[in-house]
Structure 1
Amino acid sequence: MTLPAEVQRAVDRSPAAGAAVSEAQARVAQAKAEADANRARQEGYDKCPACAEIEKLKSLPQGITVYAPGNPRSVVVPAR
């Protein structure tokens, strides 16, 4: 059976539209999972401020020469 060209184009576009919806749903699910993880991480930091400080120190760039919390120029990375 041959469909009219306009109908055939609509049928051909349908799988791509479905894939786009699935991709959007996956991005929403990923964003929700990241938000949940961030919320749980923050709750942990709230319960253990020392743990938060440890994570902060671990996230500093390699090769820093100065770290002075509270100073607007608190992290100095040597220029190459």
Structure 2
Amino acid sequence: AVFSPDVDRTCEVLDNTEFKYVLNTGCGKVTVVGNAMRGVPGVMATFVAALASKKIAILQTVDSDTTISAIIKEECLNEAVKALHEAFKL
């Protein structure tokens, strides 16, 4: 994922390499944050299942001890937040 102001420069750099890439625009990021999820099995599965239940395509994920994030299409952000709130009982 690349922030919008950095897209042109990033493409310029990548175009001068042998890397193949796809530029997806109109994306956003949803993140769940919680200290209590550290070491708890199934949190990523719950996250993915919540988005999948609404047929929201996940373009990229990243996680740490306290966060899980996904890049999704911008038009799905509100529905994704609702699905995650429901799945994690927030």
Give your verdict on TM over 0.5.
no
* Greater Rg over alpha carbons, structure: 1
More strand by share: 2
Q: Say which structure, 1 or 2, has more relative contact order (CA 8 Å, 6+ apart).
A: 2
Give the TM-score of the pair, scaled to structure 2: 0.24
